Chains A and B, each alone.
Chain A
């Protein structure tokens, strides 16, 4: 199954700035997902990163705040824009092991722990 390299692993950022998180997959995958895990909370799906088209955002998440790029089938970035302390979370990317349906499970990146001060 796919191996994901996610970076940075952690960062401390000033409010009002932006941070771009990268995920590199070692194989081509159709579907790639971005999640947020706020302190003490579950994982919440932010969006599906689509190759060649705009990302599909879940309710409560907007492109202006979380722009996503997906230039090819092995790479995606998530930007957290105009950050506030409420954005302090762990951000993770994930891909289905079969690249499409998730029938055989999912692989997760190691996560980016973001602290906004």
Chain B
């Protein structure tokens, strides 16, 4: 079955700390991978996406993610977080076969000033 697993449920960091959020997917075919962010009370916003090519993708707000096919992983990173990064982060994968977009459980990031 297709699924996405995010390892961290709730992460608390101080400002300027480095961030890495884990994401693994379960699917044997070609996947399109996404990270979305949802700030409190707001809609989903796309951070970055991977379809093909360079497995290290850069997104908005200084975020990046690395696709490691052998590990079925697509971890999100940011070298130095800010208080404004406090939000919910969702990893998702889309199957080109079905067009479905499947979301992980989400990770709540709290950045302390």
A residues near B (Cβ < 8 Å) are 30-31, 33, 41-45, 48, 94, 96, 100-106, 108, 110-111
Say whether B71 faces chain A, with CB atoms less than 8 Å apart.
Answer: no
Contact flags B64-103 to A (C-beta < 8 A → 1, else 0): 0000000000000000000000000010101110111111
Q: Which label, helix, strand, loop or mixed, suits the secondary structure of the A interface?
A: loop
User: Which of these, A31, A42, A100, A110, contacts B105 with CB under 8 Å?
Assistant: A42
- Asked if B90 and A42 make an inter-chain contact with CB atoms under 8 angstroms apart, the answer reads yes
Q: How far is the CB of A34 from chain B (nearest CB, A)?
A: 11
| B100 adjacent to A33 (CB under 8 Å) | yes
Are A43 and B103 closer than 8 Å at their CB atoms? yes
Chain B 23-50: CB-based contact to A (< 8 A → 1; otherwise 0): 0000000001010000000011010010
Whether B94 lies near A43 (C-beta < 8 A) is no
Contact among B43, B100, B101, B102 for A111, CB-based, below 8 A = B43
Q: Is the CB of A45 within 8 A of B101?
A: yes
Determine if A102 and B43 form an interchain contact, defined as CB atoms under 8 angstroms apart. Answer: no
Does the CB pair A42–B106 fall under 8 Å? yes
* Cβ-closest chain A residue relative to B94: A102
| A48 CB contacts on chain B under 8 angstroms | 98-100
* Contact A106 B96, beta carbon cutoff 8 Å: no
A44–B51 Cα distance when bound, in Å, is: 22
Chain A residues with CB under 8 A of B90: 42-43
Residues of A close to B94: CB separation below 8 A: 96, 101-102, 106
Query: What is the minimal beta-carbon distance from A33 to any residue of chain B, in angstroms?
Result: 7
CA distance A100 to B99 in the complex (A): 6
